[in-house]
Structure 1
């Protein structure tokens, strides 16, 4: 929500500075996201008078001006504007000033041989409007030498406030002024209560057929209007809110919405036919909205239509056909109360957002229909002229009255801040609450009636919050919790401890942690669906792109990878820890703790000390997975490498790591090229998922102390073996067989060489294995070592391996 200081001061009588207002907004829970002053962008621009204008000696379309800046001698300025002439008073940008429209810093420069000491500016160059046919022309009596921002009253700070969904009353400047007044920063000015009686009966009938979608429809016709441009003051305020002025009628409806949080719409009566009705759309019915897009509707949506066609997607956006134009002379005003839930579902189904929708979804003040119509009418009559009809009130908004039983002592017991009863009464009354004191059985309490613009007030805790935030959250004393006697027990659960270990491990290996959405587009979720499971689809998604709960961590990481590549990142190493959302037994929700990682680009990051570029491959992913599994406490040496990593992976460059044939701890490998293309990821991409929930708990993990480390008494013994094995035999299978040959003695085994060529038969390869033997109470004898070697050779022979001569 953006608004200017002058706009706020229209409704709040205050002497507070912009800085004081900003601080108070934060203090009362209206978070200030930013504050800027348009005048700061216009520093260095002065009101100046052109004294003489002569043709440039070397350019037909340029003139050489002498300009009076009000200080010292006149300056020479080269200008190409067609309206530049002697006697014109305009805006001069001096050397050092920065042009707001393009960020260019002005300097003294020679233009076709003539030195120019600045620039006479157009409105577009100063970001004041789209006008650029010539330079700005000011009144002849404009004070030369004056700072232009001060002269044009542009020294008007703009506040940008983040409004939480529970505060629809602050979706208008008046609601924010009310909060500031309650906090002691000024006096709230009353809303105009003038009622326009109307001089003729409303010629356009209005009706409601869909009572669930539209509770009330108020309207009137104003005839004989002139739809020109809105006043400068209104345009300035709309611009400060980020709105583009369009025409007087449209600007007035937007101004009322931004000021009072009351959306409305104006229809061109000439484009209407018969009764204007709030009804449900008919299946297949369509409307071209003001954004020039066509929307196909269904019978769950509320629309405003006449006897011929739909003119408005109720509460969201009007139709292009009946929108106001420069030829509009008669308008029908619509101020209505729509069902927030129905409207929100319609907006999501059509993927259509608007300022009106954002307000209706949060909850519009149902008691402000008639006042809103009268304020709208008054502004149109003042700015556009015309004659108003009698107002039509069809239907009635629901009664917003909500009474809360409240005891003033709750502020201290629940909020932690003692506040006198009279102070509480003053704060609540200033916020619009009504208070009645009730006596029952010798005790008293308050019956607090919430105002119609506060649908978020539900119980006593909400009343406490209102008092505390206006009094000042920073006034609550920080009180430490009492420490229990004895040694503190660990607070982290085993799962939390596991997350911390693997997060540290992944970060220590040079990867960056990402945090992505738990929601995905349906096509991305289908690509990574597990065993053909149908992903969980949300009943009320934020948008179509966030419709399905993720069955995998990889889609979000791949989207992040694509964004990083688009920004020039040459080496990408990302990981994320989170939950996958699957269907459990009986269709119940099942959340699985998972770590996903993606490696893409050049694995060496192309530093000056590195060799030539090299892409990541499946073995890089496997190395990362094994390191992280080791940090998680998984028995890495017992894992089996098996296939079936899934359709999202390259079938020849991917695998799974399993603890037994069924317990999958991880899947890894090169991403399938079609999947990489789907996510717009360039080059080879490797990825992995580690299923942290599948890692078996370590024995004795219930305790939080480790067993004392006892180093071996005797030195280990290493032995090397070279085996001839079938070319198709996986090295991991050979290592598993070797390790199992003598479990009590062999503590480790690794492949240190692979050879094909002279001396190795066709269809075979030579694998060299180093094993580590750890003696126990006594050193190995030669007989012991021979027996172990024979077991190793025999175990390898079961896989078709023979000891190489």
Structure 2
């Protein structure tokens, strides 16, 4: 948003200079992006008069001038401008001065034998426009020798600010002046729009065919206008902010867009077909030739202004060429409308049209300013172009924009960290235009002004009774209305706190640290999330590929892996063979392995972290880390490939449990695996007799046959929800015994029906003070071992802590191991 200092002072009564204004703008949240002093580069240029202009003796297209710049010295100037003549008053640059439009520093020269001691400048050479048809032609009474910058008012800095998307009111010079006045930098000047008397009936009428296209619109005609160039003050004002003056009518609409934040559009009445202008949605494929000269193909989601011939403007975004005003216009029709901000934004983005009108409508304009804006524009058109005004044509109704907000004074301190007197907080809000409705010692309720649609915003405020709720694209009216009701409940108090704080200067708000909730910050991930991530890494490190499969499958297939209650049957499955929630992810992985095998890739190792479904309760949905291996193990340089077996699956399950911190000594394996495993080649890993942590084993041959998957295949499940969280203990000194451990091997003969786990457990309990570990390293059955028995060899680690053990003490420990194993399992020491 750009504006000049003098333009700002049209609305703000202040003696503040540009630097103080810039500091205040930054302090109240309207960030200054730049200040341009156009006069700085032109400060040395002087107003000069051509005493005499004669033909150059050696060039047909050049003129020889004698120029007076008011210092009593006549200078010779060679000039090629066609308008150079005796008596012309223009602008001269002397040798040594820099001409910004050409990038050249002047020197005394000689052109075709004639000395040139200065340069008469065009507007483009001074960087003041594109006109290069001739030198600047000033009024005859311009003071010769005076600074051109001061005489022309170019010592007027241009200020540019950035405006956040919520501050549509700050896209107007008056809105900026209002904020500065509220911040204490001057007084906002009064503004009014006296009605313009109507002298004839409006030649065009408004019709809102679809409320999505427009909410409220006013219009009136002015006949007898002369649409020539706009006056110099208006052209200068637009040129200063980067706009190109076009004609008086168009320039007036641009002025109102920036001055008051009220976009307008003017139609040439003679070019409009019929007597109605209709606000409607575009017909699919309808075209519009816009004022920028481009053709646009419209969609059914674009709101347009149309006459009998078709679309004449993309409402709120850009006007159309066929009905635009030009020098021949004698009667214009002013459009002043209110559009849906979201629809304007979507249409502008859809067609990549960026205009000043769009940037204001999509942020939200003042819904109560239509009539005053139309009256003011009518009066200015009559002043500059002549003519008389018609009656006002209107369609729609002003939206129910009125709303209130409540501020508890304590919130200024608790939300903003600033201890501010209540009267000061009140005063800041009132200076912004918030009217007090009710007040007590603790709070105040204010009426929000119409131009601040970002405060206590209720989306329904944009919609008149019966209007379209288009903030919610794609929703039907009932759902959109319900959504708008929810938005109305947004807490507006924070908006008021922000207004109070920024008017005192954001730099005055103290920096307050958030309270520390704990000395050590909480972990970024929950224990469940951390477990899942760790499990994925462990399985990936073991060569498994993670899959993501459907959590449902065919009921007949699911029944092979567990119960399939009707409550877990899908009422509306996405496919006929995906109608049952799976009992275990193993089933999904085996189906994936079957599809791979059918395509010639039989050796797979797949894993998945997913859900297993037992019933419809939350407890019936278990988090499971499952894996499947099929075919052969990878061939290594030192070992040949072999078919996968139950121990591969057990190793995967145990690796996950170990990584999750489960103490290995506390685990035991039982043979009661689920029915889809091979009996005798599967197991259940438990922690104690009741807590099941994992299952593993070969997949039952009947299941493999049903899935058309040739064996062998093994699988495992780790029940992540059942894995206990490791106990967090305070770190102390590491337990590093000072004595070397001893290892003794024992081989026992035991009935082959006895589980090795029972033997290991008995050995560990033989002497808990000295035995630190027991492991099985060999199992033998065959020659030398009686039928029905098996040889189990274990290694016992003895860790002395207080003194080196003597032979007698070591033998005593060994005897206790043998006795404990014999008592628990009936095993005898193998000879």
Shorter-chain TM band: 0.5 to 0.7
After superposition, the C-alpha distances for 1:281-339 in whole angstroms (9 at most, x for unaligned) are 11221111111111112222211111221111111111100000111111111111111
After superposition, the C-alpha distances for 1:142-173 in whole angstroms (9 at most, x for unaligned) are 22211111111111110111010010001111
5 Å-filtered alignment, 1:309-320, equals 309-320=310-321
Say if 2:479 is the partner of 1:478.
Answer: no
- Which residue number corresponds to residue 344 of structure 1? 345
Cα pair 2:24 2:505 within 8 Å, conserved: no
5 Å-filtered alignment, 1:618-637, equals none
Give the Å deviation of 1:14. Answer: 1.0
Cα pair 1:44 1:96 within 8 Å, conserved: no
Query: Residues of 1 paired with 2:365 and 2:450: CA distance?
Result: 9
5 Å-filtered alignment, 1:532-571, equals none
- Which residue number corresponds to residue 275 of structure 1? 276
- Inter-CA distance 20–196: structure 2 relative to 1 (3 Å threshold): same
Cα pair 1:437 1:444 within 8 Å, conserved: no
- Which residue number corresponds to residue 245 of structure 1? 245
After superposition, the C-alpha distances for 1:78-102 in whole angstroms (9 at most, x for unaligned) are 2222333343322111122222322
- Which residue number corresponds to residue 452 of structure 1? 450
Cα pair 2:46 2:93 within 8 Å, conserved: yes
Give the Å deviation of 1:66. Answer: 2.8
Query: Residues of 2 paired with 1:438 and 1:83: CA distance?
Result: 69
Cα pair 1:265 1:335 within 8 Å, conserved: yes
Say if 2:234 is the partner of 1:201.
Answer: no
Cα pair 2:52 2:85 within 8 Å, conserved: yes
After superposition, the C-alpha distances for 1:523-545 in whole angstroms (9 at most, x for unaligned) are xxxxxxxxxxxxxxxxxxxxxxx
Cα pair 1:68 1:75 within 8 Å, conserved: yes
5 Å-filtered alignment, 1:143-292, equals 143-272=143-272, 273-292=274-293
After superposition, the C-alpha distances for 1:621-667 in whole angstroms (9 at most, x for unaligned) are xxxxxxxxxxxxxxxxx9xxxxxxxxxxxxxxxxxxxxxxxxxxxxx
After superposition, the C-alpha distances for 1:367-409 in whole angstroms (9 at most, x for unaligned) are 0111111111111111111110111221113111121121122
Cα pair 2:129 2:239 within 8 Å, conserved: no
- Inter-CA distance 261–485: structure 2 relative to 1 (3 Å threshold): closer
Query: Residues of 1 paired with 2:387 and 2:524: CA distance?
Result: 71
- Which residue number corresponds to residue 66 of structure 2? 66
Structure-1-length-normalised TM-score: 0.59
Cα pair 1:43 1:97 within 8 Å, conserved: no
5 Å-filtered alignment, 1:727-742, equals none
Larger Rg: 2
Query: Residues of 1 paired with 2:375 and 2:394: CA distance?
Result: 12
Query: Residues of 1 paired with 2:336 and 2:610: CA distance?
Result: 51
- Which residue number corresponds to residue 327 of structure 2? 326
- 5+ unaligned residues in a row in structure 1: which ranges? 495-583, 587-637, 639-701, 706-805
Query: Residues of 2 paired with 1:156 and 1:75: CA distance?
Result: 30
Give the Å deviation of 1:185. Answer: 1.0
Query: Residues of 1 paired with 2:497 and 2:521: CA distance?
Result: 35
- SS of the aligned residue for 1:367 comes to coil
- SS of the aligned residue for 2:328 comes to coil
- Inter-CA distance 60–190: structure 2 relative to 1 (3 Å threshold): same
- Inter-CA distance 244–491: structure 2 relative to 1 (3 Å threshold): farther
- Which residue number corresponds to residue 757 of structure 1? none
Query: Residues of 2 paired with 1:141 and 1:346: CA distance?
Result: 51
- Which residue number corresponds to residue 7 of structure 1? 7
Query: Residues of 2 paired with 1:284 and 1:25: CA distance?
Result: 46
Give the Å deviation of 1:277. Answer: 0.9
- Which residue number corresponds to residue 26 of structure 2? 26
Query: Residues of 2 paired with 1:149 and 1:361: CA distance?
Result: 38
After superposition, the C-alpha distances for 1:257-283 in whole angstroms (9 at most, x for unaligned) are 111111111101111123111011112
1:461 aligned to 491, 494, 505, which one? 494
Give the Å deviation of 1:444. Answer: 4.8
5 Å-filtered alignment, 1:417-436, equals 417-436=418-437
Query: Residues of 2 paired with 1:312 and 1:489: CA distance?
Result: 58
Query: Residues of 2 paired with 1:153 and 1:352: CA distance?
Result: 34
Query: Residues of 1 paired with 2:197 and 2:428: CA distance?
Result: 36
- SS of the aligned residue for 2:414 comes to helix
Cα pair 2:290 2:296 within 8 Å, conserved: yes
- Inter-CA distance 55–228: structure 2 relative to 1 (3 Å threshold): closer
Structure-2-length-normalised TM-score: 0.57
- Which residue number corresponds to residue 138 of structure 1? 138
How many residues are paired up? 500
Query: Residues of 2 paired with 1:436 and 1:76: CA distance?
Result: 73
- SS of the aligned residue for 2:150 comes to helix
- Inter-CA distance 484–177: structure 2 relative to 1 (3 Å threshold): closer
Query: Residues of 2 paired with 1:55 and 1:327: CA distance?
Result: 38
- Inter-CA distance 29–489: structure 2 relative to 1 (3 Å threshold): closer
- SS of the aligned residue for 2:104 comes to coil
